[in-house]
Structure 1
Amino acid sequence: MAITDRTRKSLWAKSGNRCSICKTELFSNKVDSEEFNIGEECHIISSKDNGPRHKPNISDYDLFDNLILLCRNHHREIDELTDTYTEELLRYIKLNHEKWVQTIINNAINSQKKAQPKFLTRITSGKDLLNIVSDSHGYRTDYDEIENEEDAEYIGGVLQDLVDYGDISGMVETYDKVKMGFELNKLLKDLEEKGYYLFGEKGIERMKFSNGETDKWSIATLVIKKKDSSEIIKVDLNESDKNANA
């Protein structure tokens, strides 16, 4: 079997484009203005009989849980020093690195909340919504106070669906994206029928890592508000046109 596009996207996204051991950036365009990639998708347990940490009778060696993202140097190191880099140690390194990346993203999002624009545009098109969530590295979500369990399950489900659409959007063809836009359009209509509006935007934010390096990440902001929320500002565009022509 081979690593699927979905597994590959998850591995790179959860690893933050960084080596799980040394944290170096793996894919960049900073050298001579040409893109280069020093990242390698490495197996914790090798499928080869004489491979590093091999175990027989595993149905699929290319699943996400058996993969760790590393730079070339550390890939070579873990495969040569198998007594040091045991299966248990590599799983520990993988888990801690992915938690580190998530912490970096969450901290950056939380620290920049005050800097976010006070006004978000209401989203009325599934196509526009797909453009916002597509290929985002992180999501900033918010919603009005939930008053009952039914609404909590519904709003939570909607936000999770939006994140899921964003995660898989980069792995599908144009035909599927059109269908996804149609499904998101239905989601928006259902949301409105239940008394809610969705507001959002996509922005590029600078993330700072513990080694002092910074990187630009795409963050989608999604906010669900009740239709009667006092925070919603309604603008009469027809009235604005009249004033402009006066």
Structure 2
Amino acid sequence: MGISSKTRKNIWSKSANRCSICKIELFSKKTDRDEFNIGEECHIISSKLDGPRHKPNIDNYDISDNLILLCRNHHKEIDELTDTYSEELLRYIKLSHENWVKNTLDKSINKGKSNKPRFLARITSGKELLNIVSDSYGYRTDYDEVENEEDAKYIGGVLQDLTDYGDLSGMVEVYDKVQMGLQLNELLKDLEQKGYYLFGEKNIEKMKFKNGETDNWSIATLVIKKKDNEEVIKINLDKKK
């Protein structure tokens, strides 16, 4: 089937052009004139019968969940040392690296924020939410401080579900998108019953790469806030002047 352009953008952006094991920069200028790329999109589960960690009867081996970005040396290492680099370990390495990238970027962004307030609209329908996450190449997520493990699991699960819906939206038919919108509507109701609001937006941002090329990427921003958070501004549109 082959790795799609969207999937390729997904794994490179989440890995920030770094090897998931050694963190080395993968795409750079070796000299002032030459471009040098040592990055490889590696399968966690091989589609080949005699390939590393092969499992049969998987519909698509080329999805982002089955791919990890590595340098050439570590690609060779994980495929030769399969007893050491099991499927479970590689999934842990992939998740840990992507979380490291996200946390590093979030710290950098927050450090450089100005004092100018930024407003996000509350999302009130599943259709509206699906439009925000659909065909997005990247996600910025935030949430209020959680107070216990149960809340942490719930909020983490909601944010993971939203990014999963976004990744799946480009691979389904119109009928399925209508059903997804309905499911997201129920998710919003459940979120509100548990005392939270969801805010968000989608913007087109120009991304610049090491080789000087640029591309426009859809980035979805999703923020979960407690209803009683002082940052939530409530406007009564029904109030008469």
Place the TM-score, normalised by the shorter chain, in its bin: 0.5 to 0.7
TM-score, normalised on structure 2? Answer: 0.62
Counterparts of 1:197 and 1:3 in 2: how far apart (Å)?
Answer: 39
Shift of 1:142: 0.8
Segments of structure 1 that go 5 or more residues without pairing to the other structure are 25-40, 49-53, 70-83
Does the residue aligned with 2:146 lie in a helix, a strand or coil? Answer: coil
1:194 aligns with 194
- Contact map agreement 1:11 1:68 (CA 8 A) in 2: no
Structure 1 runs of 4+ off > 4 angstroms? 2-5, 20-24, 41-48, 54-62, 65-69, 84-87, 89-92, 99-113
2:76 aligns with 88
TM-score, normalised on structure 1? Answer: 0.61
The structure carrying a bigger helix percent of its residues is 1
- Contact map agreement 2:11 2:67 (CA 8 A) in 1: no
Alignment RMSD = 4.5
- Contact map agreement 2:122 2:197 (CA 8 A) in 1: yes
2:152 aligns with 152
Counterparts of 1:175 and 1:108 in 2: how far apart (Å)?
Answer: 37
Distance 1:102 1:139, change over 3 A: same
1:107-118 matches, cutoff 5 A: 114=113, 118=118
Does the residue aligned with 2:164 lie in a helix, a strand or coil? Answer: helix
Q: After superposing the two structures, state which structure 1 stretch, 229-238 or 106-115, moved more.
A: 106-115
- Deviation per CA, 1:10-53, whole angstroms, max 9, x where unpaired? 3453245x9x99959xxxxxxxxxxxxxxxx99998969xxxxx
Amino acid at match of 1:14: I
1:98-177 matches, cutoff 5 A: 114=113, 118-177=118-177
- Contact map agreement 1:104 1:208 (CA 8 A) in 2: no
Distance 1:210 1:194, change over 3 A: same
- Contact map agreement 1:201 1:222 (CA 8 A) in 2: yes
- Deviation per CA, 1:143-181, whole angstroms, max 9, x where unpaired? 111111111111111111111111111101111111110
Counterparts of 1:155 and 1:227 in 2: how far apart (Å)?
Answer: 14
Segments of structure 2 that go 5 or more residues without pairing to the other structure are 20-24, 29-40, 81-89, 91-95
Larger radius of gyration: 1
Does the residue aligned with 1:237 lie in a helix, a strand or coil? Answer: coil
Counterparts of 2:101 and 2:215 in 1: how far apart (Å)?
Answer: 11
